[in-house]
Structure 1
Amino acid sequence: MGYAFVENMEHFAPHIFQALEGEGLYRSHSHESDELTLILEGEGSYTTQSHSILVARGDLILIPTNLFHGFVCLKAWKGISVHFLKEQVPSYCQYLINHAFQQNPDHILVSRLNGWQLDKAELALKQLEEEWSRKQHGELSYDLMRNALESLLLSYHANASESMKASRIEQGSDNQIIQDALKVIHGAYQTTLKISDLAVHYFLSESIFRKKFTDIVGVSPKQYIIRLRLNEAKRLLQYTRKPIEWISSEVGFTSSSRFHELFVKHFGKTPLEWRKQEESGST
């Protein structure tokens, strides 16, 4: 079957460009996937209709879906790119991607890595590529790919340049409170996370927190957490051979019967029926 959330991975090097160093050609295009690129050597430039950026060794670049852009090699460069389908990546990775583009949804974003951080990011990309390119995927392939992408996205956020953070939402605003809460939820949705604990953290009553969350996100906190758990369960059902009862527990359900009930309610099939459908559709 088509495997997990990675659509394509590629290495680029100077020989790709039919020009001398400093005379690289812009290659304008867009793609129906998000892109993450790590520059390992050299220098270059990316441009869109609204902005241009210079990139060099250590830059970790995020490019959103369907953004028309071009790039040029200014000094012989090497790097690794991964194209992935945001709707199919694990839930916490989805949050990290959406959070990165929250203030600049139509921009190319850059974070500068140095030293061991750059080495760690390169190793994560190589691990992602190794698992993605396997002819036979192992039981842990999906988890290893998830961990590698999560590590890359966390490295991006930890080292994002201040210029990319300039338009941050004012601290203490309702939007900031809910964005912070979403980060907590995406990182801990598989635990026994309580809405009351989230509310207390922001010095709010549970009812007020629920209202603010629902007004901004569009669904209640409980509904949001359930949706995250079920979407992650779908990915695990499709891309791993883990037992259904084990998946139910991994995504945060303490009752397997409750998991089955909610799965059928949201997707119209039992988890086993959904897995068999996906298997038959990919053969």
Structure 2
Amino acid sequence: MKNAIFITGASSGIGKALSLRLAGNGVALGLLSRGRDASLEEVAALCREKGAEVFAYAADVSDAVATAAAAQAFLDRVGRIDVVVANAGVSAVDQDDEANWLDISKANMDVNFYGVINTIVPFIDTLKRQKHGSLAIISSISALRATHNSGPYSASKAAVNLWSEGLRLRLRPFKVSVTTLCVGFVDTAMTRSNKFWMPGLISADKAAALIDSKIRRKVRLTVLPWTSGGIWAIFHQMPGRLYDLVIDTAKKRQQ
């Protein structure tokens, strides 16, 4: 019986690295990306070379109907689900553009929060019926504390953290695990345009290895890598006035 894994945001970054890591003989992979372009087809081909049976789907996770259709198509082909990785996300920081805060906040919530729900809900009935399976939700260290221009992004990730915790408690009786991963800075196209210091920066392959380990161990909530966890633990406990000073200093360095 094949291990059935469904991954969103699979065409690049962490999603691509995780897809390649999990691909292998005896694995059925459902790879979802916003568009069925050359990038997704390349990842699918590489996964097939490693022995996986691959099904590629194009859908924007903010579109509940399209995402549910892709999930159902995968279930119809494979007949089961073992792991769902809700990885797709956006990082639309406000860049001090207060006039567009509403649109930017909606854009973040549509993908980072509702996109996770749209990804996971179509699999819940099957998971409950199977009485086994794992859900992995890729969150961010930004969920733990916001910076001066990460408010919309941080809010979307904090929301998904709390939603995931509630989901975990609901699915416990069905032996379905939920792992929420607050990921630090990863070297991807999304972060390469950042103009600020990114402590604990790791490669996408390293992130995929850490995520894979946490899913297999059924960890509830984790921050990775440990260097980012340590730094953000300090920030999380830092008194407001001191944190304000840290952010003010960071803002000056960006100017």
Same fold (TM over 0.5): no
TM-score band w.r.t. shorter chain: under 0.3
Taking structure 2 as the reference length, the TM-score comes to 0.24
Higher gyration radius (CA): 1
Whichever structure has more helix as a proportion of its residues is 2
TM-score by length of 1: 0.23
